[in-house]
Structure 1
């Protein structure tokens, strides 16, 4: 590891750092989009009312500059996104070439500024992790973006940029772990041929983008585990111990990036997995001990209560805070004020969504197909 400037000489080795931004409060993909729901704002608000975001542990995310974005994205694509934000329209040719101005990747007021802030957050996180530590940047996790086009609600691919930024800080070997319900197709595209990047993705089978087959392994450091619908906490615990942690330990990374998507939770409308947020927190806790550097991103998540509760709980865990059995009134008020809009707003609000951070456990039998698929990646059949 080699020092690279004043930004790296921070106190992340002593205190976990949270990176946020108000851009997420003031922007939306549009009323009918699945990402019409708020996500990062309620995490910031919950952490503040719980007293978990002192000034020493909070950083405001910068916006990545266009030239920084071209570390992986093409200059033409970056320019097209900037122009689309200014004009609030695109030509048919630009839409076809870069997949922007579509139903999934719409034109909206901050369509360049918001994803560029996500990239700026992970680049800052990488600098803060120069000497080691933990950084949580829930605005990150847009793992579907490609070098020259938007994909799956993702305009820039900040997880790819996180790995590259860590590499620039001197981390030779980086492990990327993704527990989003959807396969990280953009990240795999970036690193499938890179022996110094381990990519582990646990995702629902036959779910968009329908990539990430069990057999897809790149040069050997790509680990795809498509799982059947109904995945429960006990099955994820097996995957955590026998696959994720085993592969990470064998790889011996200098840094880990965890994409902690909330759409694998049972309450989410965009998958059919049945995890509680206990499963995610257990993975966060285990990975923190597996490397001197851990960057935790957000990702998918389309139920505003389950997203806010999960990512707040993740931060509390990383920061060493005691998770209250019942939230204080100010935190309950944050959750009570949320609204669920868009085409996916189908479920009634469960009482515990308003009063707790921790879900009830959602265990169950471990299916043979889970055991078999874990064993296919070198795990022991248990």
Structure 2
């Protein structure tokens, strides 16, 4: 199998949703810089993401919505009618300079990733993972739904057994809506209970296409490993997938401001390592994550894990400088702990497995079997 490929773009370096938006922070650009500083990313394994053209986006999104998104970027304003119909120009989905080109580049990266693994392989596109986007409407910071577009590309290329795994703190409502009732796509989502978008309940199965596990606050690493061993891995393997698409949102870790889960980044890396060899094709995407240090460290560790690189105890001086240059307006960014600059790996967060989680896992295990 060819070495993993990383898809990125310079558009993320200068683009922002606005200074007060959770996505005002740098994310993908920091991962690129950090991986380059460590010597893990070179011209040989890096590919530039194309900006998806409207025709490619129409595979899932309606032409009128894509036209409205392009028009909003051009005019840098939306009418009340457009805001109401397409959820553009809202607090969650604001008007900003690259509001079409940035998500279209992320979508182009995920589509390209799916094309690159047509004959097998591993591709990582951390800008992807915008799993809330709807066919005709922006939703939850997501103007487009690149995971759906990637899966549709795999289906178009002749695959008929695809597993989509989502470990973001928020439920993948847009992906679930797109593949409701599918016999070709199995969806497994682990997300915080009673958190926006308030979907993905334990008993909702999207026409038997989805396995949803809402989890309680303060989810710890040992609980996640039980989920991995009892739901994610058997639920994936039993589908005998030709491809896996993993959405690796970084907002389930303890330092994230938009969830109340308590994972260390070790949990995500174990999921990546465990899923890496189950199918001949693996596309790994980013997703949520709103602490610039935890996102950069987690997603850089994902790239190392995909390449079988042992994550060092201490970063080199150049990589530490990349993390040292980050700033964050939230209180936690005023005096960040030293390990956010010096190492990728969090201290593991061990703990007891709650009885209610054991019961929910048994319920889903019965469905899998």
Q: TM-score range by the shorter chain?
A: over 0.9
Residue by residue over 1:76-130, the C-alpha shift from the partner in whole angstroms, topping out at 9 and shown as x without a partner, is: 0000000000000000000000000000000000000000001100111011101
- In the alignment, what sits opposite 2:98? 110
What is the alpha-carbon distance in structure 2 between the residues aligned to residue 344 and residue 136 of structure 1?
A: 31
- In the alignment, what sits opposite 1:363? 350
What is the alpha-carbon distance in structure 2 between the residues aligned to residue 102 and residue 145 of structure 1?
A: 14
Deviation of the 1:378 alpha carbon: 2.0
- Spell out the pairing of 1:76-95 with structure 2 (5 A cutoff): 76-95=64-83
- In the alignment, what sits opposite 2:31? 43
- In the alignment, what sits opposite 2:193? 205
- Spell out the pairing of 1:260-275 with structure 2 (5 A cutoff): 260-275=248-263
Query: Is the 1:43–1:309 Cα contact (8 Å) retained in structure 2?
Result: yes
The partner residue of 2:306 within 299, 315, 318 is: 318
What is the alpha-carbon distance in structure 1 between the residues aligned to residue 90 and residue 345 of structure 2?
A: 37
- In the alignment, what sits opposite 2:359? 372
What is the alpha-carbon distance in structure 2 between the residues aligned to residue 65 and residue 228 of structure 1?
A: 40
Query: Is the 2:246–2:283 Cα contact (8 Å) retained in structure 1?
Result: yes
Deviation of the 1:26 alpha carbon: 1.3
Residue by residue over 1:212-246, the C-alpha shift from the partner in whole angstroms, topping out at 9 and shown as x without a partner, is: 00011022120000000010000000000100001
- Spell out the pairing of 1:1-382 with structure 2 (5 A cutoff): 13-341=1-329, 348-378=335-365
What is the alpha-carbon distance in structure 2 between the residues aligned to residue 338 and residue 87 of structure 1?
A: 32
What is the alpha-carbon distance in structure 2 between the residues aligned to residue 346 and residue 91 of structure 1?
A: 36
Aligned length: 367
What is the alpha-carbon distance in structure 2 between the residues aligned to residue 325 and residue 353 of structure 1?
A: 12
Structure 2: any 5+ residue segments left out of the alignment? Answer: none
Provide TM-score, normalisation by structure 2.
0.98
What is the alpha-carbon distance in structure 2 between the residues aligned to residue 106 and residue 344 of structure 1?
A: 24
Deviation of the 1:320 alpha carbon: 2.1
Q: State the SS of the aligned residue for 2:124.
A: strand
Query: Is the 1:243–1:379 Cα contact (8 Å) retained in structure 2?
Result: no
Deviation of the 1:346 alpha carbon: 6.2
Query: Is the 2:328–2:334 Cα contact (8 Å) retained in structure 1?
Result: no
Q: State the SS of the aligned residue for 1:316.
A: helix
CA distance 1:155–1:345, shift in 2 (3 Å) = farther
CA RMSD of aligned residues (A): 1.2
Query: Is the 1:34–1:344 Cα contact (8 Å) retained in structure 2?
Result: no
Query: Is the 1:61–1:120 Cα contact (8 Å) retained in structure 2?
Result: yes
Query: Is the 1:150–1:156 Cα contact (8 Å) retained in structure 2?
Result: yes
Query: Is the 1:195–1:219 Cα contact (8 Å) retained in structure 2?
Result: no
Deviation of the 1:322 alpha carbon: 2.4
Query: Is the 1:309–1:357 Cα contact (8 Å) retained in structure 2?
Result: yes
What is the alpha-carbon distance in structure 2 between the residues aligned to residue 23 and residue 165 of structure 1?
A: 23
Residue by residue over 1:276-297, the C-alpha shift from the partner in whole angstroms, topping out at 9 and shown as x without a partner, is: 0000000000111211111000
- In the alignment, what sits opposite 1:9? none
Q: State the SS of the aligned residue for 2:236.
A: helix
What is the alpha-carbon distance in structure 1 between the residues aligned to residue 27 and residue 237 of structure 2?
A: 32
Q: State the SS of the aligned residue for 1:145.
A: coil
Structure 1: any 5+ residue segments left out of the alignment? Answer: 1-12
